């Protein structure tokens, strides 16, 4: 079984791809997963949209959360780039992301680390959503809407099980 960080990342993608509405809107080749050396294309064309990727950002670790546990919080950014200026292009994908993550708390909280078979996800929060028109870093010079949904996942581990 993969390490807990990979489990969380994989679970987010599993939830998205299990939603047929999301799968119908975002072609498999436009789901940017960072599980190989170069998942992103150097240049994009209209057929490369909508594009969705999950990036990991700010992490906060507390090695002494309690006398016997460590906590780690990570932010996961679900980034959507539409390549279109119509609101519907953005709203359709956003809606399916929302639907896919409707049960994200129980899904993530059910994950277990095989080291001690403990459930390690303790908290999931949707922090914010930001939309922008013509964000060149997201749309690679193709005009259109993009948005970022930011969620945070807090994980806890027993001190003894972390030691190699």
The pLDDT of residue 124: 94
> Residue by residue, what is the 3-state secondary structure of 2-33?
CCHHHHHHHHHHHHHHHCHHHHHHCCHHHEEC
Convert the pLDDT of each residue in 62-103 to its tens digit.
988 898 999 999 999 999 998 888 888 889 999 999 999 999
Whether the Cβ atoms of residue 100 and residue 78 lie closer than 8 Å to each other? no
Whether the Cβ atoms of residue 51 and residue 80 lie closer than 8 Å to each other? yes
Q: How many Å apart are CA 132 and CA 97, to the nearest integer? A: 17
Q: Which residues of the chain have pLDDT under 50?
A: none
The pLDDT of residue 94: 92
Gap between the terminal Cα atoms of the chain: 17
Q: How many helices (H) and strands (E) does the chain have?
A: 6, 7
Structural domains of the chain, with CATH: 4-37+46-162 (3.30.70.1700)
The pLDDT of residue 154: 96
The pLDDT of residue 93: 93
Q: How many Å apart are CA 14 and CA 149, to the nearest integer? A: 17
């Amino acid at each position: 079984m993969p390490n807990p960080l990979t489990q969380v990342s994989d679970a987010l993608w599993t939830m998205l791809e299990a939603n047929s509405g999301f799968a119908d809107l975002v072609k498999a080749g436009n789901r940017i997963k960072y599980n190989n050396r170069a998942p992103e294309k150097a240049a994009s064309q209209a057929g490369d949209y909508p594009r969705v990727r999950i990036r990991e950002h700010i992490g906060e670790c507390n090695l002494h959360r309690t006398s016997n546990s460590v906590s780690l919080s990570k932010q996961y950014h679900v980034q959507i780039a539409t390549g279109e200026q119509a609101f519907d292009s953005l709203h359709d994908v956003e809606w399916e992301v929302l639907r896919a993550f409707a049960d994200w708390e129980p899904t993530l909280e059910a994950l277990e680390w095989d080291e001690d078979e403990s459930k390690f996800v303790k908290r999931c929060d949707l922090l914010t959503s930001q939309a922008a028109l013509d964000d060149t870093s997201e749309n690679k010079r193709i005009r259109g809407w993009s948005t970022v949904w930011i969620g945070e996942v807090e994980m806890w581990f027993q001190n003894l099980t972390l030691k190699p």
